[in-house]
Amino acid sequence: MKLIIASNNAGKVREYKQLLAGAGFDEVLSLKEAGLVCDPEETGATFEENAAIKARALHELSGCAALADDSGLMVDALGGEPGVYSARWLGLGDDKAKNTEILRRLDGKTDEERSARFVCAIHFIYADGREVTARGVCEGRIGYEPRGENGFGYDPIFMYGDKSFAEIDGEMKNEVSHRGNALRELEKKLGANGGKP
């Protein structure tokens, strides 16, 4: 079965391809690789709602199995921001600017006051239209400066233990990340629905 991921984010697509390597799909493609453009407006109030909007639009367009996620960073000291607006927070276009603003807002906060989590909701639609949703979380804290070169988005400021998400290797990140946790939850649910895709 062919699966299309509702993303052109190279880092995210790479992680999904690694995570889905043994899941039984014949092909796992990004939107670009599938030759599709699908960019519905994300009007949901939750990660789950936004993931469903994207997956349903892609499934309707392609007729293939579709997977979409919505994920983001929730910082407790910022009232859960950037949350569902993580990709477009404050209208700041680039990752560096968003990371700099979070660090600025947390200036003077202690480790205990820097608690944060990455959240990922995945919405999967079989080719026949059945839908499954899963959620994954990874708890951590915001560091004091960007660190590492491996990640993307908020990874350089998100500390998991004594390393940022941009400092740990891909295999380790897949073991502990919100996306990895959501995908493992999805696999359990797919199994409960009669096996992997």
CA–CA distance, 152 with 100 (Å, rounded to integer): 14
pLDDT of 175 strictly over 60: yes
**Residues 1-52: pLDDT tens digits?**
899 999 988 878 888 888 777 777 888 899 999 999 999 999 999 999 999 9
Identify the active-site residue in 70, 76, 95, 128: 70
Query: CA 39 from chain center: how many Å?
Result: 16
pLDDT at 138: 97
Tens-digit pLDDT profile for residues 118-169? 999 999 999 999 999 999 999 999 999 999 998 889 999 999 999 999 999 8
In this prediction the pTM is: 0.87
Indicate the pLDDT class of residue 193, thresholds 50, 70 and 90.
Answer: low
Residue 176 and residue 58: Cα distance in Å, rounded? Answer: 28
- Name the strands in the sheet holding 115-125, side by side, starting at the edge strand that comes first in the sequence: 27-30, 2-5, 65-75, 115-125, 131-142, 158-160, 163-164
- 70 in catalytic set: yes
The pLDDT, as a whole number, for residue 131 is 96
CATH of 2-192, one of 3.30.200.190, 3.40.50.620, 3.90.950.10, 1.20.1440.130: 3.90.950.10
